[in-house]
């Protein structure tokens, strides 16, 4: 149980990628008053948590309605994770480093809660996990909670981390996480393909 909790939590942290999102996060809050930033961080992380919980609780009925098999979800999820991992290893610098001008308005839901934290990849992964571990609602809820807590903590000290580590170190860490996510995506792909082959024999 503890090993599964750790592996699920690690997977979600790798997908949400709080360290890699630090530059974009700083850019999005550049024009927010310093005294409002802590509140904005807590609010956006709570919204992201709520969105992921909705996908967790409603995922199985939705997948049943769409008649999607576990094998299809594993293969599809593995492909999505592979694309995310490739982007982490070879990032689009303009988008990742937040070179676009920040908005004058305080960010609300978009772009911080969605898609920066609870993006399509995180939602799809939660859907997949809800189908793969139907009796582990408490474990999955705990993993989502820890993931959002880690994201909240990283964003809360983002300015300090960027000053201490620098953009190059953050990019190196992101690429390392991308390598780990690549291995996870390959394992998911192989698992789905092997399960499908056993069914058609």
Q: What is the pLDDT of residues 3-36, one digit of tens each?
A: 899 999 999 999 998 988 888 888 788 888 888 9
CB 186 within 8 A of CB 19: no
Among the listed residues 9, 4, 5, the one whose alpha carbon sits nearest the alpha carbon of residue 144: 9
Q: What are 58's strand-pairing partners?
A: none
pLDDT above 70: percentage of residues in the chain: 92
Among the listed residues 48, 119, 131, 128, the one whose alpha carbon sits nearest the alpha carbon of residue 87: 119
Given this model, what pLDDT does residue 39 score?
Answer: 95
> What does the domain layout of the chain look like in residue ranges?
2-200
First to last CA, the chain: 32
How much is the pTM?
0.78
- Going 164 to 95 to 123 to 76, the CA torsion angle's sign is negative
Among the listed residues 179, 200, 187, 199, the one whose alpha carbon sits nearest the alpha carbon of residue 79: 187
Does residue 108 sit in helix, strand or coil? strand
The DSSP code for 99 is -
The DSSP code for 107 is P
CB 11 within 8 A of CB 5: no
CB 126 within 8 A of CB 55: yes
Q: Higher model confidence: residue 201 or residue 56?
A: 56
Torsion of CA 163, 88, 93, 122, to 10 degrees: -90
The three-point CA angle 67-145-162 to 5° equals 115
| CA pair distance 35, 112, nearest whole angstrom | 18
Q: What are 108's strand-pairing partners?
A: 110
Cis peptide before 82 (omega within 30 of 0): no
**What is the rounded average pLDDT of the residues 53-68?**
83
How confident is residue 57, by pLDDT bands cut at 50, 70 and 90? very high
């Amino acid at each position: 149980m503890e090993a599964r909790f750790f592996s699920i939590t690690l997977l979600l942290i790798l997908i949400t990628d709080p360290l890699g999102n630090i530059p974009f996060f700083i850019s999005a809050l550049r024009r927010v008053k310093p005294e409002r930033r802590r509140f904005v961080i807590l609010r956006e992380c709570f919204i992201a948590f709520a969105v992921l919980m909705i996908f967790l609780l409603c995922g199985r009925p939705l997948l049943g309605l769409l008649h999607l098999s576990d094998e299809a979800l594993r293969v599809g999820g593995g492909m999505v994770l592979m694309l995310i991992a490739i982007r982490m290893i070879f990032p689009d610098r303009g988008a990742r480093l937040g070179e676009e001008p920040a908005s004058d308005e305080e960010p609300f839901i978009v772009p911080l809660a969605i898609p920066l934290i609870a993006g399509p990849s995180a939602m799809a992964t939660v859907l997949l996990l809800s189908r793969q571990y139907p009796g582990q609602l408490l474990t999955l809820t705990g993993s989502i909670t820890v993931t959002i807590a880690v994201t909240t903590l990283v964003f809360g000290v983002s300015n300090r981390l960027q000053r201490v580590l620098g953009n190059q170190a953050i990019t190196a860490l992101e690429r390392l996480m991308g390598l780990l996510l690549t291995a996870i995506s390959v394992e998911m792909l192989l698992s789905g393909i092997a399960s499908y082959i056993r069914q058609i024999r």
